Structure 1
């Protein structure tokens, strides 16, 4: 059974992308039966990792914005 999912990666939450990525990595480590399946898993894994990074960068930006708001400074306001 393949960990490949038909859900578009760009619609996945961070948690869903992370969980699927763990399954993909596990399946790759076990060895897919064919080269084609291995390549499909690798490509899906790359897309999932990029989605996770996208979520994390977005969360970082939100935290930085909240921190700047709470301290009364905005980016570029420091003299």
Structure 2
């Protein structure tokens, strides 16, 4: 498994921030800029994957008629998972 796929969301986000800072800086060659851009795209995809994994696990705990009931969280944007 490639090293990036083992990164946590937080670690991938930190690396992505470093990539953005490098791209915003001066003095990069065109080839270096392209390499940073490609790394950034991989990191964005990894962050999205990690978010989707967590999204599927989020649940809301409700109290109905004195009993604890769980259901999946309704997400902004009209996506309701499991309802």
TM-score, normalising length: structure 2 = 0.67
- State how many pairs are aligned: 66
Larger radius of gyration: 2
Alignment match of 1:21 (pick from 10, 16, 25): 16
Could you tell me which runs of 5 or more consecutive residues in structure 2 were left unpaired when the two chains were aligned: 62-68, 72-80
Q: Which has the higher helix share?
A: 1
**Shift >2 Å, 4+ stretches:** 66-69
Structure of higher RCO (CA pairs closer than 8 Å, 6+ residues apart)? 1
Alignment match of 1:10 (pick from 5, 10, 13): 5
State the Cα RMSD in Å.
2.3
Matched, 1:50 2:57: no
Quick check: 1:21–1:49 contact (8 Å CA) kept in 2? yes
Q: Following the alignment from structure 2 to structure 1, what is the Cα–Cα distance between the partners of residues 4 and 46?
A: 7
Could you tell me which runs of 5 or more consecutive residues in structure 1 were left unpaired when the two chains were aligned: 1-6
TM-score, normalising length: structure 1 = 0.70
Q: Report the 3-state secondary structure (helix = DSSP H, G, I; strand = E; otherwise coil) of the residue aligned with 2:56.
A: helix
Q: Which has the higher strand share?
A: 2
